[in-house]
Amino acid sequence: MKYFKLTFTLVLSAAVFYVLNTKLGSIPPLGKFLAPNQGFWQNDFTESGNRSDLELAGLNKAVSVRYDEQLIPHVFAQNNTDLYRAQGYITAQHRLWQMEFQTMAAAGRLSSFIGPGALNYDREQRRKGMIYGAEQALKTMKEDSETYAYIQAYRDGVNSYLAQLKPNQYPVEYKLLDYAPEPWTEEKTALLLMYMTDMLAGGDDDLPYTLLLQKIGRERFDFLFPDFYEVNDPIIPADRDWNDWQVAIPEKPEDYEPLNFDVDPMTPPHPDNGSNNWAVSPEKSASGNAMLANDPHLGLNLPSIWYVMQLATPEQNTMGATLPGALGIVIGFNNHISWGVTNATRDVKDWYKIIFQDDTRSAYRYEGEWRKTEKRLERIEIRGQEPFIDTVIYTHHGPVSYDSNFKGNGGRKEGYAMKWTGHLGGNNQRTLIELNAAQNYDEYKKALVHFAAPAQNFAFSSVTGDIAIWIQGDLPNKWKEQGKFLLDGSKASHDWQGFIPQEHNAHVKNPARGFISSANQHPVDPSYPYYVFNDGYETYRNRVINDFFRSKEKVSLQDFKDLHNNNYNLKAAELIPSMLAALDSMPLNSKEKAFMEELRAWDFNNDIDKVGPTYWEEIWDELRMMVWDEMRNDSLPLPYPYQYQTINLLKNHPNDDFMDIEETPEKETATDLFLQSLRKAVAKINMLKADGKPLDWGNYKGTYAGHLLQALPAFSRFDIPIGGNSSIVNATSKTHGPSWRMIVEMSNPPKALGIYPGGQSGNPGSRYYDNMIDTWAAGEYHSLAFMQENKADQTTIFSHTLTPRK
């Protein structure tokens, strides 16, 4: 009996140990997780100056870190190597989990700690060649010994922090998911840059365009998707003359014919990724100093994508937003210049149809011969399972993303290869490092040269009064229509023939109008000699911004703030009057009339307390889906024409065949669609009312900042009261928006404002995790304490000294 009891209690103890020490499904290992000496209780703290002296191996000289009231570190080092080592160390202190998670997401390694649920995502990342692209970038960066040494210093800084970190101090997400941080590597910095490249330049519509072209023919396709719109207000002012350039455009092959796709498409990047930037010259500035503003619109995530720092050495002093994992300031200013970026949205990803010789897929047809493929084994570790090995074939174009093993339906001998500037191996890190130190236009221009992808519109202003904008990236010099549709991977004439020469990347310096701006719109007017077509350029924000500046003689700092927070819905303003006019002649019931009165009373501003925007969204959703029932009802993933063109059709081609609803025997016109969408929208609004749902725009939209782990509710912030929407200058939709708002006046020294929807700490337990959200939502800013000397001042709340390890 006693031995039975002994065995029983032993087994019971072992079972309790196992259950409390093991992650079961989505439940964290409860013993580990709840134990105050090891679990989450250890993370319930806010950063403070308790420890003022920290040792950092490898430093040459001591580094001072002064934290201000927003927990922004102001870092003073004696040389660049120490500076970037300290940047790695400090960033890891505050954002370790996020910086690793994002690189794991880029590399397609989420399954290793999440489990099989992430396998499809990971495979997509591998098949997009994300690791391959990072390897190419790393190769280029290695050839640049100075940059590479800084990347290594950053790596060592992160790893010094990791070496001091005990498991009970791991960020809470590690405890929740029960895994541990890895050492940082140079490749992870390259992967972080790939993460951004994929987010901003990972999209293309070759597949849906091709499908639609096959379905409706050339003439109708061009009608729906013109290369330029008439209302184009491009980044480079239309009066820019390009005639002095010697330009060589490759010849369009005579036998060119778009081929057919047969795949299930991968997940595209979110369409609300975008940005605004602008700058005014001293002549147009009320203070007489050039001014610059930027607000990149990205996913509103927690921890925030940006981490603000001041990075100073005796030679340079720079402040602004950093990306955890990358070196230097990405968007910011120093005592001489300021710069900001928006996405250039150019088509830099093309697809080639590949025909393999046989089932072994070791060769593919190219110029009448069989060219060898390379096979890359992508090993995907999966938590709790055997690893998954995916063989990805590489051609000279790039990875064969789609084939019979992945989303390809065309059989064993067919595949689709991706050609992407993300695989070219640019040295973006060098651009950032040089921009941080740049003192004038020429140095800014020189710094940009290394930046390959994602192509960005780099706005610039300087203390000497220059303003400029360059559309920078490696941009393929294409023959007309090259890469708009599926290309033939067996023909050399379909290959990219080269790149637009650096000097011919569209740019403008000190334009006569006294301001520069960009908002993801068309970069140029049709006179630009290289081939550019409308591949999803934004058509509203740019016009509101440019009209704002044109309407004003002089512009003040307050004007910049007002413009960031401008909620004018130009899209709605361009359709609603026509819609109301058409509906006025129709027989309407009282509810329909009441709905129309709400729209008529609205001033087209998407402010939080208004109901007009809600009514507009409801009717516009219905209307768009009715116009494009041809796309919606098709089994193929056809593209929906852009909203600008949809409204253009409704207003100017009301009897076009596309207005017809295919299911009905009648032939509908735009007016019929207005009426039908009105009826549906009235029904939806009544349903919302009946359910007691709020109709004011702020609550209806329900903007939220979701934690990076699929918006885990406990670590996210919901119902943030902020207006705007996509296509509005204040581009805050439900999940995306101005992820960093910065305004810099180039006085001496510069004065700057900044805010972002989050906080400096990545720890959900910290008061600095989301402390800036409410200020951001209210349209307010914090003034950035740009310290001119390494001395604690009234903005400093505590300081650290990083000392070389003895």
Partner 1 sequence: MIKITQNFLLTLALAMVFSLFLPWWAVMVSGFLAAAIVRLQNVAAFFVPFLAILIFWVAYGWLLAKPNDFVLSEKIAVLLPLNGNVFLLLLVTGIVGGLAAGIAALFGNQLRYVLSTKNNG
Q: What residues line the site for partner 1 (CB under 8 A)?
A: 2-3, 5-6, 9-10, 12-13, 16-17, 20-21, 30-32, 34-46, 167, 172, 176, 712-715, 763-767
CB of 16 to partner 1, least distance (A): 5
CB of 71 to partner 1, least distance (A): 14
Are 733 and 274 in contact, with CB atoms under 8 Å apart? no
Name the nearest CA neighbour of 370 among 385, 358, 387: 358
- 31 or 511: whose CB is closer to partner 1? 31
CB of 178 to partner 1, least distance (A): 12
What burial class does residue 359 get, using C-beta atoms within 10 Å of its C-beta: 0-12 exposed, 13-18 middle, 19+ buried? exposed
CA–CA distance, 97 with 90 (Å, rounded to integer): 13
CB of 37 to partner 1, least distance (A): 4
Residue type, 675: L
- 16 or 492: whose CB is closer to partner 1? 16
- 2 or 806: whose CB is closer to partner 1? 2
- 22 or 404: whose CB is closer to partner 1? 22
CB of 268 to partner 1, least distance (A): 31
CA–CA distance, 426 with 193 (Å, rounded to integer): 10
- 38 or 440: whose CB is closer to partner 1? 38
End-to-end CA distance of the chain: 61
Distances (CA, A) of 396 to 250, 333, 355, 404: 20, 40, 13, 19
CA–CA distance, 260 with 269 (Å, rounded to integer): 23
- 41 or 499: whose CB is closer to partner 1? 41
CB of 179 to partner 1, least distance (A): 15
* Residue 308, φ and ψ in degrees, nearest 5: -90, 135
Residue type, 494: H
In 521-642, alpha helices (H)? 541-550, 557-564, 570-584, 590-601, 612-627, 629-632
Strand partners of residue 274:
297
- 31 or 501: whose CB is closer to partner 1? 31
Name the nearest CA neighbour of 319 among 327, 331, 336: 331
CA–CA distance, 402 with 132 (Å, rounded to integer): 16
- 12 or 238: whose CB is closer to partner 1? 12
CB of 41 to partner 1, least distance (A): 5
CB of 716 to partner 1, least distance (A): 10
Give 773's Cβ-side CA count (13 Å radius).
22
CB of 14 to partner 1, least distance (A): 9
* Residue 602, φ and ψ in degrees, nearest 5: -80, 140
Name the nearest CA neighbour of 639 among 769, 457, 484: 484
Determine the 3-state secondary structure of 546 from DSSP. helix
- Per the rule left: phi > 0, alpha: psi between -120 and 50, beta: everything else, 520 is left
CB of 767 to partner 1, least distance (A): 7
- 5 or 218: whose CB is closer to partner 1? 5
Are 521 and 544 in contact, with CB atoms under 8 Å apart? no
Name the nearest CA neighbour of 411 among 361, 466, 372, 362: 361
- 10 or 231: whose CB is closer to partner 1? 10
CB of 799 to partner 1, least distance (A): 21
- 176 or 192: whose CB is closer to partner 1? 176
Measure CA 576 to chain center.
Answer: 31
- 25 or 368: whose CB is closer to partner 1? 25
H, E, C per residue of 102-139:
HHHHHHCCCHHHHCHHHHHHHHHHHHCCHHHHHHHHHH
CB of 25 to partner 1, least distance (A): 13
